[in-house]
Amino acid sequence: MMVERGKRRGAGAGRNKAKGPSRRGGPGAARQEATPGDEGVGPMARMVAHEVRNALSVMYNVATGLRRAVPAEQPDAEMLLGILEEELRRLDRLTHDLVSFAMTAPPIRTQVRVQDLVERAVQEARRRCPAGDRARVEVTVQRGAATASLDPDRMFEALVGLLRNGIEASNGRGGVRVVATRAGDRLRLDVFDEGPGLPTDDVERIFDPFFSTKASGVGLGLALCRQIARRHGGELTAEPAPGGVGACFRLEVPVGEDGS
């Protein structure tokens, strides 16, 4: 397990691989706009996020224009533009996580095919991780866990967060396994990694908001995953993986329509 480790920056951000800050036209955007009754920090967070994303889009357009103007044979310019674009993407992800963490509306449940949900999350986690292309990810969904009543958008975000954590912990050198099982009236999703394992002092701290061992991290990833689990009436826990190598994050949620 790795708690939001820093990403190596530099020339690795290629000219053709750059992707701009997302407009969140997918699950996240729909959820943010569909909760006008949120109280407290939620509406303010969405308003600030809107302004930040506007600025990020302008800056990314500027970076794209510079890429076209700067000759490809200038390696220093390529490296600096890569750093700029990676930081813009990081700020976009951070903005998304802050808005998601501030949301107070209850989950909107629907019947979900667990295999499809997990496989979509694997694809998205690969896209968001520098080591995603070379990561080994294995998915097993047992027959009793084929469907469940979940909020597909929020559970998708939780799975992406856990998979990103596992892929980054394994750092392309180990594998990540997702195992979905039915435990009584609950769906259990175990995410195993082959990383350095859990901290020895206080494991629960890794779920605290704004706790991070990552040099450039904010510490919202695992806190957001646990929040999503608890709003489904479930829980997210962590323990050493079997065999003493890596970690296991266990997300359990009720499978009933009413969250019970």
Check if the beta carbon of residue 180 is closer than 8 Å to that of residue 189: yes
Q: Residues 222-252: pLDDT tens digits?
A: 988 999 999 999 999 999 998 888 999 999 9
Among 153-162, 188-197, 206-215, the range scoring the smallest mean pLDDT is 206-215
Per-residue pLDDT, averaged over 194-215, amounts to 75
Indicate if the pLDDT at residue 32 is higher than 60.
no
Of 131, 139, 137, the residue nearest 172 (C-alpha): 131
Per DSSP, what are the bridge partners of residue 188? 181, 252
Q: How far apart are the first and last CA of the chain?
A: 30
Contact 197, 36 (CB under 8 A): no
Q: Which contiguous run of DSSP H or E holds residue 122?
A: helix 114-128
